[in-house]
Structure 1
Amino acid sequence: MAISGIPGLGSGMDVGGMVQALVNAEAAPKTAQLDNLEKATTSKVSALGQFRSALSTFQTALGKLNDASLFEKRSATSSAADTVSITADSKAIAGNYNVQVFNLAQTSKVALAGFENASDAIGSGTLTINIGDESLDIDVTDASLTDIRDAINAAGKDQGLSATIVNDPSGKGGARLVLSSDKSGTGNDISVAVSADATGDLGRLTFQPTSGADEDFQPTPVDADNPRAARVISYSRDANLAIDGINLSSASNTVEDAIEGVTLTLKAAQTEDALTNAETINLRVAEDKAGVRTSITEFVDAYNKMLESINSLTSVVSVGGDDGEPLAAALVGDSSVRSFMSAMRSELGSVAGGDGIRILADIGITTQRDGTLGVDNTKLNKALDNNFEQVNGFFTGDQGLTARLESKVKPYTESGGILENRTTALQNTLSSVDDQRETLATRLTKLESRLFAQFNAMDMLISQMSSTGNFLTAQLDSLPGVVKKDT
């Protein structure tokens, strides 16, 4: 096969160069066509991906605003959150409440009789520990306070009972077993009974506290004459409070049933002065208008961001002044985009049935000159303050604005939807371009081989003709009577 730049043996022509030029001339139109098709198709695939992403982001904002629970949320505030905090669910009715906290709920804690050393064995038997109506039996044999403590902690963890040992550095109080319960409320005091068959000094751990109410729920003072005597560190007690002047009690500092849908957490009792002066803590429950306002603003922002993305994908930009050819984005004139935006504008401008809030403009949302949505916060706040339920009905539900908009977006973004099918078709086109390139390459290879064969045959023929001509010239020159011209 001849190589470009090396002349043919017979003709002296650049056979390789001529073949290459002819092959290039044959390939150029189809290659340009495939290059243009590939570039345009790739641009559209990318643009449709961006379009779908913008729609999905907008769809997320629609779903958030169409959540009925958004409008059921309640905001709850306390004028003294360090004394009583408040939370409210959707069942709570908006209103104001005045609360007084007289005392917090308490759990029981007792210190049993003291012993000289925690490690000394004090006896065998059964300890029955009562916490209100619940009881726990602890069997011990030749046990020390340390052994008893460990047995109580192992058996009592599921009942909220724990034990520790406290040592008096002065030696007067000795080593004492301290029992604590996590069960608050009046009547849940800890008491300890020891079986009749107990041996040693185990019986000294018997303890029956007096009524907390009789002691005004004050801890038992240390007995100066017997510092190792058992005593109450804290009585179990109900929390006592008043809501709008109505006295209430609660076994827990978490009060859930006093006001429907409202949970109060008592953190501290009011001071004596505050209670004497009848000072109250104000609690307020209201619709969570701030959360709704935020979601509406996010809906507007998401629409505007989607519109910005669509505008960039359908824009035509002038290049090089009046004489320059404009640069068109990948989705200029795209039917899917036109149909989608037409549906969006139709729904945004449609009038809802019923009274009150019927169009977006009624809550301060209007279309600007550039097609984006703008928010009049004053008008939006007024609508939320005066027509909260109507705003709810306008946006949410099967016939609400967000559901109608969602029905227009979904066919484009769903699996197997408009945009996915179009993308698949474009990807098939790209695969077809690859196939056509392979077909073209095969055809050009065959063309090149054929041209080389033809040009080489021609070169050989010329070579043969040249040889024949030279032979005839030599024969003629050798004939008698032939006169050569002087050169």
Structure 2
Amino acid sequence: MTMSINTGLVSGMDTGTMVNQLIQLEAAPQNALKSRLSTTQVTASAYRTVNSALAALATAAEALAKPESWTSTKGSSSAGSVTVATTSSATPGSLTFTVAKLATTAASVSTGRWATTTEPAGLATLDFLSTVDGSSKGSVALDGTESLEQVATKINATAGLGVVASTVQIAPGQFALQLSAATSGAAAGFELAAGSPFSATGVGQDAELKVGTDTATTSSYTIRSASNTFDGVLTGASFTVTREESTPVTVSVAADPDGLATKVSGFVDSINNALQTIRTYTENTPGSKAALRGEYAVTSIGGQLLDAVISAVGTLGSAAQIGIQSTRDGAIVFDKEKFSAAIKASPDLAQRLVGGTGTAGDPGAVTGIAGRIRDVAKVASDVTTGTLSSMAKGQDSLVRDIQDRIATWDLRLAKRKEMLTRQFTAMETALSSLNNQSNWLAGQLGSLSQ
């Protein structure tokens, strides 16, 4: 309920303005709370921004601390028709072969044609046989009343059949039923029992690679795959063939120093991002308006990250040997050329310096740079126990408390304004009454003098 206020017609005072000014004076504590609320919200956001950078760093460090991250390999092929893909478990190796066959998919089409796909097709029960050994793959019961669409639906719904059916338009007003094996390869091949109104349009065939040649001094062997992708022929690698090749093709899996360098470079970028974020939010130079200006709990994390990088790793020495070191302004630099040279000179040195040696818990295990960075970042950013997470939650709690106090002040000031409005209204009413009495007395005195 809003109370109207007398504007001072009797007293001549602007009582409405006076009430608003009094309320503004009394609202000073609330305004201070609002200013504090804004600062607290900015602080909470700053903690979370730093926390996000450290959480990302912890993830990057965790990945680089795993041994499989250091088995970086790349595949290559001497022919454009063969592509190679590797996984983290791939090991160096090579294989030379010719592509004798490509994998194909068995298929058949109905010999009959229909004007529509919805009229009764007149097909009897279909018996599917394996082209490998003639054994039954399954049957689809039909009574002739089903349309082509219904026949296709029944075939596709038959579990274990391994055949996909679809209606195809051969020409305007001519439809047929197409049957295809669900997968390529010889084992998926099928045929229909004798008498069925279908003819084969494709034969299921495995892809074949021929390795070596049969001569007086050498022998050959064949590698088969139901698809055109060969998995596991070389450990941790797969290669896909797209055409037959009578000219020998060589696929190779080799160590990839550049791939390792890219991983380490990305890790260093994550460290620098975390360090820069910390510096930005804790800047303590004169005139700085940083949200966490001079906050030791945060700046100390930056110091721990730097120590984790530049400190020696057991008896191995520092990471400067592999091109990782700090600058005077507290950043981390990565020298790719030095890293590559170190990899060539001692292939496992970088892994031991960054990833550590031994298994966690072993007496002789040494934590590498990645492990040390991970530990520092996790202590700070852990969702439940992280120091930064706890600080952000503390600011959130303070925000809620301040918001509650501001809301209480809203009620208090509203009641105060109502009370002042009533008081000034009462004053104007009293003055009006006195003014009326004065006018009446003046009138009475005036009548006595006549």
- TM bin, normalised by shorter chain, reads 0.5 to 0.7
Q: 1:316 to 1:350 in 2, by over 3 A?
A: closer
Alignment of 1:298 with 2:266, yes or no, is: yes
1:16-55 matches, within 5 Å, as 24-28=24-28, 30-31=29-30, 33-55=32-54
Q: 2:353 maps to which residue?
A: 394
Q: 1:385 maps to which residue?
A: 344
Alignment of 1:419 with 2:388, yes or no, is: yes
- Judge conservation of contact 2:206–2:224 (CA < 8 Å) in 1: yes
> How far apart, in 2, do the equivalents of 1:51 and 1:372 lie?
16
What's the offset of the Cα at 1:352? 0.9
SS at match of 1:374: strand
Q: 1:317 to 1:6 in 2, by over 3 A?
A: farther
Q: 2:101 maps to which residue?
A: 104
> How far apart, in 2, do the equivalents of 1:91 and 1:284 lie?
15
Match 1:340 to one of 296, 301, 308:
301
Q: 2:281 maps to which residue?
A: 313
What's the offset of the Cα at 1:128? 9.8
For residues 413-461 of structure 1, the C-alpha deviation after alignment (integer angstroms, 9 at most, x for no partner) is 222332333223223323333344455556665598489869978x979
> How far apart, in 2, do the equivalents of 1:23 and 1:7 lie?
23
> How far apart, in 2, do the equivalents of 1:372 and 1:159 lie?
60
Q: 2:176 maps to which residue?
A: none
For residues 255-282 of structure 1, the C-alpha deviation after alignment (integer angstroms, 9 at most, x for no partner) is 55654445454544444xx5xxxxx433
Alignment of 1:434 with 2:437, yes or no, is: no
One-letter code aligned to 1:378: E
> How far apart, in 1, do the equivalents of 2:212 and 2:231 lie?
13
SS at match of 2:135: strand
- Judge conservation of contact 1:16–1:452 (CA < 8 Å) in 2: no
Match 1:93 to one of 91, 106, 110:
91
Q: 1:331 to 1:118 in 2, by over 3 A?
A: closer
Q: 1:327 to 1:451 in 2, by over 3 A?
A: farther
1:397-408 matches, within 5 Å, as 398=360, 399-408=367-376
One-letter code aligned to 2:63: K
- Judge conservation of contact 1:62–1:299 (CA < 8 Å) in 2: yes
Q: 2:328 maps to which residue?
A: 369
One-letter code aligned to 1:93: T
- Judge conservation of contact 2:6–2:425 (CA < 8 Å) in 1: no
Scaled by the length of structure 2, what TM-score is found?
0.64
One-letter code aligned to 2:161: D
What's the offset of the Cα at 1:377? 1.5
One-letter code aligned to 1:158: L
SS at match of 1:282: strand
Q: 1:266 to 1:400 in 2, by over 3 A?
A: same
> How far apart, in 2, do the equivalents of 1:27 and 1:110 lie?
84
For residues 344-398 of structure 1, the C-alpha deviation after alignment (integer angstroms, 9 at most, x for no partner) is 122112211244xx43312212212322222212112223334343322333365
What's the offset of the Cα at 1:316? 5.0
Q: 1:70 maps to which residue?
A: 69
What's the offset of the Cα at 1:298? 1.6
For residues 392-415 of structure 1, the C-alpha deviation after alignment (integer angstroms, 9 at most, x for no partner) is 233336523222212211232222
SS at match of 2:161: helix
- Judge conservation of contact 2:75–2:254 (CA < 8 Å) in 1: yes
> How far apart, in 2, do the equivalents of 1:396 and 1:299 lie?
12
> How far apart, in 1, do the equivalents of 2:207 and 2:337 lie?
48
Q: 1:175 maps to which residue?
A: none
One-letter code aligned to 2:92: A
Q: 1:133 to 1:446 in 2, by over 3 A?
A: closer
Instruction: Quote the sequence identity (%).
Output: 22
Q: 2:161 maps to which residue?
A: 158
Alignment of 1:360 with 2:319, yes or no, is: yes
One-letter code aligned to 2:325: T
- Judge conservation of contact 1:74–1:90 (CA < 8 Å) in 2: yes
Match 2:289 to one of 324, 328, 332:
328
> How far apart, in 2, do the equivalents of 1:290 and 1:408 lie?
28
In the alignment of these two chains, the number of paired residues is 383
For residues 300-351 of structure 1, the C-alpha deviation after alignment (integer angstroms, 9 at most, x for no partner) is 2222222232222123576xxxxxxx24211001122122112212211221
Q: 1:20 to 1:393 in 2, by over 3 A?
A: same
SS at match of 2:348: helix
SS at match of 2:97: strand
One-letter code aligned to 2:260: V
Deviates more, 1:358-367 or 1:259-268: 259-268
Highest CA radius of gyration, 1 or 2?
A: 1
Q: 1:344 to 1:460 in 2, by over 3 A?
A: same
> How far apart, in 2, do the equivalents of 1:127 and 1:456 lie?
103
What's the offset of the Cα at 1:5? 4.9
What's the offset of the Cα at 1:79? 0.9
> How far apart, in 2, do the equivalents of 1:435 and 1:191 lie?
78
- Judge conservation of contact 2:37–2:403 (CA < 8 Å) in 1: no
SS at match of 1:328: coil
- Judge conservation of contact 1:85–1:264 (CA < 8 Å) in 2: yes
SS at match of 1:353: coil
- Judge conservation of contact 1:58–1:302 (CA < 8 Å) in 2: yes
> How far apart, in 1, do the equivalents of 2:410 and 2:189 lie?
94
Alignment of 1:250 with 2:229, yes or no, is: no
Question: CA RMSD of the aligned region, Å?
Answer: 5.5
What's the offset of the Cα at 1:103? 2.5
Q: 2:254 maps to which residue?
A: 286
Q: Which runs of 5+ in 2 are unaligned?
A: 114-123, 166-178, 361-366, 446-450
Q: Which runs of 5+ in 1 are unaligned?
A: 112-116, 163-177, 195-201, 206-229, 275-279, 319-325, 476-487
For residues 178-203 of structure 1, the C-alpha deviation after alignment (integer angstroms, 9 at most, x for no partner) is 99995449xx9999997xxxxxxx6x
1:112-131 matches, within 5 Å, as 131=131
One-letter code aligned to 1:74: T
Q: 1:133 to 1:370 in 2, by over 3 A?
A: same
1:163-312 matches, within 5 Å, as 183-184=185-186, 239=208, 241-242=210-211, 247-252=220-225, 259-271=234-246, 274=247, 280-312=248-280
> How far apart, in 1, do the equivalents of 2:185 and 2:388 lie?
61
> How far apart, in 2, do the equivalents of 1:17 and 1:237 lie?
93
What's the offset of the Cα at 1:77? 0.8
